[in-house]
Structure 1
Amino acid sequence: MPERPATPHTGAERYLAIRRPVEVGYWLITYLLSGVGNSVTTWMDVERLGLDYAAWEVASWEGGSAIALLMLVPAMVWFTARWPVHLDNWRRRLPLYAAASVVWSMLHVALMVAIRKLVYAWHGGTYVFGDAFVYEYLKDARTFLGIVVVLHGYRLLVRRLQGEASLLAAPDDDSAPVEPVERPSRFLVRKLGREFLVAADDIEWIQAAGNYANLHVRGKVYPLRSTLAELESRLDATRFLRVHRSHLVNADRIASIESLDSGDARIHLHDGTIVPCSRRHREPLRLAMAR
């Protein structure tokens, strides 16, 4: 019978099992509260100053901004995962993030203005944004920085919860290493103050995630700070097969291969996981499995 992932027992494992809906819920609630809260406070200012604006106008200003920010969250998640910031690269990343903040602000303003124009047109009016990009950017830059800090801090916490893998280091003295460092058969995993070893043969599949390669082992995911290409060059090429530009699969874990009309394929693993196989790698995979 196919193996099934272990049932989560610890609080960390239970959270990791539901992390995706929690993450989506966090951003939805954050920007819902932001839109409502900012609309209420802005409306209070309008009434206090006796300005001639309708409630729907104020709602379109703040609500449009919140909706635009929410629409840009997936782009921020992708960008920060693709080019993460670490202590050893933050100086190199700083110009990239500064440029990204300008692009992000331009997208936010464009979406925000488009939403406001739609609302005004619905009410038979016309919205004019004017020349206020510098003002908006000064606000957006702080929001951009806040999102970057939240995403990086959250990913650090998740890595601590699920365990972060690393290669076994060579000994400090001149003695021979326990195993070849360039062809690792085990990985060291640090998780919430504990350390344990994961055998390379136990890895079912590996997925690229920015500067990390996620090792999938018995229903758990351990991020290893390495590109997929670097890790592929170190693993046993007869066991770990490239099946996609962002996936490696342990050949011993493959249950079946399903061909698709597009020329691509789906790889079914023994535990029920489905891994994509691109057309480019389909024939080499077939030949490797036939050996």
Structure 2
Amino acid sequence: MPERLKQHFLEHQILWPCVFLLIWALLNIALLTTTVIMEYQREGRSIDYWQPLCWEVTSIVMILLCIWPIAYINRLLQSRFSLPAQLLGHAFGLILFSIIHVSGMVALRKLWYWLAGSHYNFGDFWYEFVYEFRKDAMSYITIVVVISGYQFMVRRLRGEASYIDKGEESNEQLADRLLVKKLGKEFLITTADVEWVEASGNYVNLHVGGRVYPMRSTMAKLAKQLPAQNFRRVHRSAIVNLNQVKHIEPTEFGDYVIALTNDQQVPLSRRYRDAFKSAFADKP
């Protein structure tokens, strides 16, 4: 991937998936709609073209609406549970996904048919639900695999930080330097240059000089390993480098945010506010 394209991808990680999903949705709608029409014509039957279009559009719309919740569930399961528990969680997620997909799809089809002056008949509910569930199972598995693959690709492009020596993982304090592996290359970053840290599933993201490096660890563990004189936890999902703090400012909701020297803002929760203010006030 060219450097400019890679940088654009990393800077617009919401835009790129949305564009790909839109292209995928349009292609699926066009392919499946024309397939139904051609099958009817081959069998010598007639059908209004808007009907198969309605079937495919309503199905794809419901799948698109479910992608973000599935991504959230996948991230939550990866960050908190073992593999068997993750599989069990996905089994419940699949059932919920199929119920939402089928019920939403049928409701949209009934509305579409009503607006067209017709009536939509789903057929025998249990037979049709089992039929749809079989397809939903493949859709759900595909979505989880694609999401996991996308997350892996992002980590590869960003670079993944780790301990220089695996033995360092048991030390009480983090080493002064960390190893970053990125697209087959390795280089070092200085721990003191880490501006702030955010939780991301079963990873933590290290923000360093405008770049983000995932590291397989937990916030609780990293909070203990980072030197307390320079790093403080300010939120359940954030740690900041005190040397990178510019000022603290209140929000309209009564909370606070921390403004860093790189102009990024990090939330400051009530739980950590007093300890952070005390540590920040003690900095020279």
Q: Quick one: structure 1 residues 281 and 182, their matched pair in 2 at CA, closer, same or farther if it must change by over 3 Å?
A: closer
* Secondary structure, counterpart of 1:19 in structure 2: coil
Aligned mates of 1:212, 1:164 — CA distance in 2: 10
Asked if 1:40 corresponds to 2:34, the answer is yes
Q: Distance in 2 between matches of 1:29 and 1:11?
A: 19
Tell me the amino acid that sits aligned with residue 101 of structure 1: L
Which consecutive unaligned segments of at least 5 residues does structure 1 have?
Answer: 1-7, 172-176
* Structure-1 residue corresponding to 2:255: 264
Q: Confirm or deny that 1:81 pairs with 2:75.
A: yes
CA distance in 2, matches of 1:42, 1:102: 27
Q: Report which of the two has the higher share of helix.
A: 2
Please tell me the root mean square deviation across aligned C-alpha atoms, in Å. 2.4
Could you tell me whether the CA contact under 8 Å between 2:231 and 2:242 is conserved in 1? Answer: yes
| 1:146 counterpart residue number | 142
Amino acid of the structure 2 residue aligned with 1:199: T
Q: Tell me which residue corresponds to 1:221.
A: 212
Work out the CA distance in 1 between the residues paired with 2:121 and 2:170: 66
Give aligned-pair identity as a percent.
Answer: 39
The secondary structure found in structure 1 opposite 2:112 is helix
How far, CA to CA, are the matches of 2:187 and 2:171 in structure 1? 17
Aligned residue in 2 for 1:21:
15
How much does 1:189 deviate?
Answer: 1.1
1:160 corresponds in structure 2 to: 156
CA distance in 2, matches of 1:66, 1:197: 45
Determine whether 1:286 maps to 2:277. Answer: yes
Return the structure number with greater relative CO, CA threshold 8 A, min gap 6.
Answer: 1
Output the CA distance in 2 between the equivalents of 1:14 and 1:56.
39
Which of these residues, 187, 190, 207, is aligned with residue 181 of structure 2? 190
Higher mean alpha-carbon deviation, 213-222 vs 118-127, is at 118-127
- Pairing 1:98–2:59 present: no
Q: How many residues align?
A: 276
Cross-structure match for 1:3:
none
TM-score by length of 2: 0.88
Q: Secondary structure at the match of 1:75?
A: helix
Task: Tell me the CA shift for residue 269 of structure 1.
Answer: 0.8
Cα distance in 2 for partners of 1:45, 1:202 equals 62
Aligned to 1:4: none
User: 1:5 corresponds to which residue?
Assistant: none
Say if 1:279 and 1:114 are closer, same or farther in 2 by CA, change over 3 A.
Answer: farther
Give the partner amino acid of 1:116. R
User: Matched residues in 1 for 2:70 and 2:99: separation?
Assistant: 14
| Contact residue 202 and residue 217 of structure 2 kept, 8 A | yes
Q: Deviations over 1:118-147 (max 9, x none)?
A: 211212333232411111111111111111
Letter in 2 for 1:168: I
Q: Determine the C-alpha separation between the residues in 2 that align with 1:54 and 1:215.
A: 55
